[in-house]
Amino acid sequence: MTDQPQPSQQAVDSVPGDAPAEQAAQDARGRVAELHALRERALQGPSERATEAQHAKGKLTVRERIELLLDEGTFREVEPLRRHRATGFGLEEKKPYTDGVVTGWGLVHGRTVFVYAHDFRIFGGALGEAHATKIHKIMDMAISAGAPLISLNDGAGARIQEGVSALAGYGGIFQRNTRASGVIPQISVMLGPCAGGAAYSPALTDFVFMVRDTSQMFITGPDVVQAVTGAQVSQNGLGGADVHAGTSGVAHFAYDDEQSCLEEVRYLLSMLPSNNRENPPVEECHDPVDRRGEALLDLVPADGNRPYDMRKVIEELVDDGDLLEIHERWATNLIVCLARMDGQVVGVIANQPQSLAGVLDIEASEKGARFVQMCDAFNIPILTLLDVPGFLPGVDQEHGGIIRHGAKLLYAYCNATVPRISVVLRKAYGGAYIVMDSQSIGADLTFAWPTNEIAVMGAEGAANVIFRRQINGADDPEAMRARMVKEYKAELMHPYYAAERGLVDDVIDPAETREVLVRSLQMLRSKHADLPSRKHGNPPQ
């Protein structure tokens, strides 16, 4: 077959005697031009004035945020031309494209994620029926595709003009948040106000990020609080980033600006699997597995009463000292973080002796339980580092429900089927030792340093109970107490007592801890454990 010269497109379009075809081609071009014009209107938003107002508040526009979050040029929008159908209160005269929310998917580090992002420039980002339907659709797509869902929140709550239809839209979001829980990672990024029922969706997700000064979360705003209680408080004082990151525990992360916040969202995603059927991403490791941690011998004092920074211990153990601490400013007596060991993601839970001596209290128990559940849901092995003197005593703790809150952490550990390794660095006393993933509640491997003290309670307290009569009847009670304390330590608290009884698998050289942990995690990588058949458990509340 010989090649024949092809006529130009212009010649084809202007074939004599073919007027209808010529008109159709012209119409098609016109329709395509119309399409591009509509898309451009949707991309530009309501007006330049609205964009300037958004920037004046120190906030980025919705599309600027999406560009920062996703890999360049990967965003594919869904329903950009959607408009509401509501009437009344002037809505029929205002029907902007997107209806105040941008939805779609793209890539983060080359992996698919789904996004919905409020556009505050349109109806203040308020949720209406069409707005909610777009969110429902993208959430369903994320669940079906098995990919993370990120919400960029900057909205004023329900669209009052649409009444109960708007409220029903929130119900659909909450139902999907719950259905996706433990199936795909869900991340809420707070970039503006989030009030009333709208605050419950972020609370149902796995992680909440906030930006200082520009984002707030509360169920009832300052005006309502003042009207009901008489207390005067600002929006940030009531529900700002620092309040939720350090006091309430609602926010896992708080940042000074949107750019650094969204960059950290990308970093977090690099440590999470796309869904609960996959393992977290593995990175090439250049940190030697057998690197000795001689610094650990100096970091952790043998004297159980001396504090130290557990974060430095974790940095010494993990790849390149790199970790992502979660809830860094809330319940600081317990550290929870994601890190890598030999390139594999691991979740680390550790007592922090620098804060309340590392005791477990109500907030620390909740913090740890939530983290254990997240790791177990997304196939992340759990490493527990113990230096815990017990649960925090006090009337406030008991009346606040330390029993049921502590039981949350116990339940989470007992229910977890991922690889679990614990290391006793120093103190491990009483019920807190049992709760912090001891061998008796199912830890796969337990190790201890030679500085460990595993016991029902400290030697001083134990001696006062066991030898009370001898101490009280002695000529020199203090000398007798010191003698009994020494005797108790020698009999029941020496470093090898637990190893001799099989309660720890080995007592290890602290400098070899990294290698021991990495080799153990490699062995446990193929672990498989089944829970009894049931609809779901009934964890303590």
Q: Where are the alpha helices (DSSP H) in 279-343?
A: 296-299, 310-317
Side-chain half-sphere exposure of 466, counting CA atoms within 13 A: 18
CA-closest candidate to residue 211, choices 236, 195, 187, 191:
191
* Catalytically annotated residues: 196-197, 431-432
Residue 356 C-alpha from the chain's centroid = 24
Are 200 and 178 spatial neighbours (Cβ–Cβ below 8 Å)?
Answer: no
Contact 128, 169 (CB under 8 A): yes
Which residues on adjacent β-strands are paired with residue 149? 114, 186
d(CA 459, CA 304): 11
Answer for the pair 148, 140: CB distance below 8 angstroms, yes or no: no
Q: How many whole angstroms separate alpha carbon 297 and alpha carbon 301?
A: 8
Query: Beta partners for 127?
Result: 158
Rounded-to-integer distance, Cα 178 and Cα 201, Å: 9
Other beta carbons within 10 angstroms of residue 99's beta carbon come to 27
Write out the H or E segment, with its range, that includes residue 326: strand 323-326
Close Cβ partners of 512 (under 8 Å, ≥ 6 residues apart): 292, 293
- Inter-axis angle of helices 402-415 and 362-377, to 10 degrees? 20
Residue 346, phi then psi, degrees to nearest 5: -140, 145
